[in-house]
């Protein structure tokens, strides 16, 4: 007769959130491998990329070009990421700074 002891599951060790997970809900600038730069609010993070809300293409010396809807950026296209101070999209900041109607 063989007695098999039941193993207790390993206790859940809290995992430190990844940099991308910490960036969720914050505004970032993605500098990409094709020399383009995009700015937007990180809304969804998945292993193979990031979904930006309120995305804008930034060009040297030109006004930002707003992209309608959301933009999925594959992780392999991202060269480096810059966190934007303040963390709110430009459109929300503009709404907050408008004078109230009288």
- Tell me if 39 is assigned to some domain: yes
- Tell me if 89 is assigned to some domain: no
The pLDDT of residue 57: 94
Two tokens at 90?
């430009």
- Tell me if 15 is assigned to some domain: no
How many whole angstroms separate alpha carbon 97 and alpha carbon 21?
A: 29
For the whole model, what pTM was predicted?
0.66
How many independent structural domains does the chain possess? 1
Residue 20 has pLDDT above 90, yes or no: no
The partner residues of 80 in beta bridges, in order of sequence, read 31
Task: Tell me the torsion sign for CA atoms 80, 82, 88, 94.
Answer: negative
Count of beta carbons in the 10 Å neighbourhood of residue 39: 19
* Chain segment 40-71, per-residue pLDDT in tens: 999 999 889 999 999 999 988 889 999 999 99
**Which range marks the domain in which residue 66 is found?**
22-84
| Residue (of 28, 71, 72) closest to 46 by Cα position | 72
């Amino acid at each position: 007769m063989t007695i098999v002891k039941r193993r207790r599951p390993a206790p859940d060790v809290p995992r430190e959130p990844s940099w991308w997970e910490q960036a969720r809900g914050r505004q970032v600038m993605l500098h990409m491998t094709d020399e383009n730069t995009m700015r937007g609010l990180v809304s969804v993070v998945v292993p193979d990329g990031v979904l930006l809300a309120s995305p804008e293409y930034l060009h040297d010396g030109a006004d930002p070009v707003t992209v309608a809807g959301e933009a999925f950026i594959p992780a392999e296209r991202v060269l480096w990421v810059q966190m934007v101070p303040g963390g709110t999209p430009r459109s929300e900041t503009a709404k907050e700074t408008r004078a109230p109607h009288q």
